[in-house]
Every structure is written in C-alpha cells, then in structure tokens.
Amino acid sequence: MIEVSKLSFGYKQTSEKVLDEISMTALPGKVTAIIGANGIGKSTLLKNICGLYNGTGGVRINGKPLPEYSRKELALNISYLSQDNMVNAMLTVFEVVLLGLVNNLSYRVSDSELEAVRDVLARLNIAQFASRNIGELSGGQRQLVFIAQALIRKPKILILDEPTSNLDLYYQFQIMGILKELTVAENFTTLITLHQLDLVKRFADAVAVIHKGSLYGMGSPEDILTEQTFRDVYRMNTEILTASNGAGYIIPVSQCKE
C-alpha cells in the first residue's frame, strides 16, 4: 500500500514547485494509474515515492513512513522500473533477469534463485528468449524482460514509469494484461504512469490525474476519465465511446480553443 500525504517537491535551481501538496493512495491488488500532460511531474512523483527524491510531506509504504526504511529494506519492498532501462552490456535475457536479485546474490547462485528466474520467464511467456542476448530482442520483448527483472524479487509494490511507451498495440495490451493479472494474483500494489488513455480506461482500477503540479482528481476510470477532464487537463475535445465488448475508447475530436 502507498499513502502520499501533501507531498511537495521542487528542484534547487528553480523556486517553482514541480509537485504541490499531492495526496493519494494506491491499494494492494489494484492497478493505480497516474496520468497528465507531458512535463507535469508524473515521473518526479514516482521518484519521490521510491525515495530517490526527497520532497516535503509524507509517504508511507505499507503503513511505515518512507524515511524509516533502509535502502536495502526499500529494495526488498519496492521494484521500480524507470523509463531509462537500456542495457548496453552483452548479457543474456536470463542474466538480465537474474540481476534483479542483485541484493541477495552471493558468489554462488543458488538453485532456488535459478529456478525463480525460470519461473518468472515462464509466467511472462518469454522463456524461449532466455539464452538470447538482450540487444537482439524487439522493444516489446525487452520491456517484458525488464518487467521480469522487476518481478523477480517478489515485491510488495511495483512502480513503473511509462512501461508501454514506444510499443505497438499488441505489446501494449500484452504488457498491461500481464501486469493486471499478476497484481491481482500476487496482491501487490501496482503504481504506473501511462499516456495511452485507452489502456488506463481498460486496465486501471484507480486513476490519479496530475495537472499543473497538483492533484486534479482521483477515482475510478469511469468517474475520472470524462470529457471535462480531457478539456481541462489535455486541452482536447473528446468523445468517449463503448465498443461491442464493453470496453471504453477515447476519441480525440479537436483541440480546445485558447
């Protein structure tokens, strides 16, 4: 569980606040999506929650204040997948996923650790790539490998920054479907930033909207993803349609006049 209370943050080189008294909650067994226009602080919010940045206000992880966690304790509780997840080293997929256990590894890798890697690769349907070099995979396949690396520690909290960016529709839906299924099955807390609003509407249980550094609103996708929200936050006129399978789709119509 993640509880954020009146979190504010600004960079030293500017007096302007990037985040201004953000309060929100992300629950176990649920996918909570953070959305908003480009450059409004979504990634900065995630880094504050992970302890990479230190804003003012409060963050509690599973009921415990963030400052009371040691670095090792945080690593055991939170898996964080940033947008910058390129690997330039000549490593196989198996080795990349194994590195997710770096805080636990000794000079000799145990049979249980090797089995854990094989298990997570199988669960994400990428076991066939285990011996391939990570650089040989497509963008969607690599992203699944990095998600496997984040999951290998069996975290209580999974935080992902734009995990579907630059992927085609197939991999966007595959990754979000897997994350949703695992979040429910393992009962961990998943907090994710997304730009693909159709994915938010389809897979998120709760949505937090950040606008101009503040929390514009938070609630279910049905309550939050409205035409008024898109006008206020994205400056777009939209129509929200329902497909034959019941899924909702957001159709951009026109830009709002200034």
Alpha-carbon distance of 144 to 97, in angstroms, equals 10
State pLDDT tens for residues 7-18.
999 887 666 789
Burial of 208 from C-beta contacts in 10 A (0-12 / 13-18 / 19+): buried
Alpha-carbon distance of 17 to 19, in angstroms, equals 5
Q: Distances in Å between the alpha carbon of 7 and those of 12, 186, 213, 255?
A: 16, 28, 10, 32
pTM comes to: 0.89
Task: Pull the structure tokens for residue 208.
Answer: 């937090």
User: What integer is the mean pLDDT of 127-136?
Assistant: 91
State pLDDT tens for residues 157-208.
999 999 888 788 888 888 899 899 999 999 999 999 998 898 999 999 999 9
CATH code of domain 2-225: 3.40.50.300
* Residue 48: predicted pLDDT: 94
- Residue 79 corresponds to which amino acid? S
In the chain, which segments carry CATH 3.40.50.300?
A: 2-225
Catalytic residues: 162
Residue 104 confidence class, pLDDT cut points 50, 70, 90: low
